[in-house]
Amino acid sequence: MPRMPDRMHAISSALQGLEHAMRALANENAVLKDQLQAIVERAGQLFDGHAGRGRTGRPSSPRDGVPRKRGRAFKFTDDQAADFRRQAEGGKSVVSLARELKVSLPTMYNTLKRVGWKGKRGGGRGRPARAARARDGAPRKRGRAFKFTSDQAAEFRKQVEGGKSAASLAKDLKVSLPTMYNTLKRAGWKGRKRA
């Protein structure tokens, strides 16, 4: 029976492994117990009205009924923001305020809006109000400038109404057909009459 010590060694090492596992579980259980105790203490403080250290549960809204601010805390207090508003309404530009305080322009605008600032003249970013129409009463053109003047467009319209095709005219002028049609339309051309 020479194999007996080998079996005993295997059983002994298995028991040692089991002992290590049991001690690790006991240590983990102690840590979990401490964490649970801390949570219970915090919960008790919340219900008693005492705020504990660290992060606590979030109430949906404070007692005054105003929802809690979410996200990052404000950079300036309400008193500071009210002072900035007085400066802005007194004529100081928002850009110079932002530069002086070393904050971004959106941060400055949001701070001012928070205390009821409406901007210069009730809205906008200080730009003068633009007229919706040009002085001659025609609607203002938006976007890219026209390729041809109104006089050139009128001349093209005469040529097309005289019998020249819009496609050949576009080819001669080295422009696309849609550009030619848009130019003719701007000159008042209604298209070919259907017989």
DSSP 92-124: --HHHHHHHHT--HHHHHHHHHHTT---GGGSS
Query: Is 70 part of any domain?
Result: no
- The answer to whether position 160 is within a domain reads yes
Q: Is residue 168 part of a domain?
A: yes
Total structural domains within the chain: 3
Calpha distance 126→58 (Å, rounded): 40
Q: What is the pLDDT of residue 159?
A: 92
pLDDT score for 9: 83
Gap between the Cα atoms of 70 and 59, Å rounded = 12
- Residues making up the chain, counted from first to last: 195
- Residue 36, pLDDT > 80, answer yes
Domain assignment of residue 101, yes or no: yes
Reply yes or no on whether the pLDDT at 190 is more than 70: yes
| Rounded Cα gap, residues 100 and 93, in angstroms | 11
Confidence of residue 1 (pLDDT cuts 50, 70, 90): very low
Q: Is residue 142 part of a domain?
A: no
Q: What is the pTM of this model?
A: 0.32
In a domain, 113, yes or no: yes
Looking at per-residue pLDDT, the higher value among 30 and 73 belongs to: 30
In a domain? residue 194: no
Average pLDDT for 19-29: 90
Contact 111, 76 (CB under 8 A): yes
Tens of pLDDT, residues 106-142? 998 989 988 888 876 555 445 555 555 455 555 666 7
Least confident of 6-10, 48-52, 97-101, 106-110: 48-52
Structure tokens at 7: 């079996």
Q: Are 187 and 154 in contact (CB under 8 A)?
A: yes
Tokens 């005993």 appear where?
8
The answer, yes or no, to whether residue 167 has pLDDT greater than 90, is: yes
Strand partners, 133: 139
Residue 61 lies in a domain: no
Residue 59's pLDDT is: 53
Domain with 167 in it: 150-186
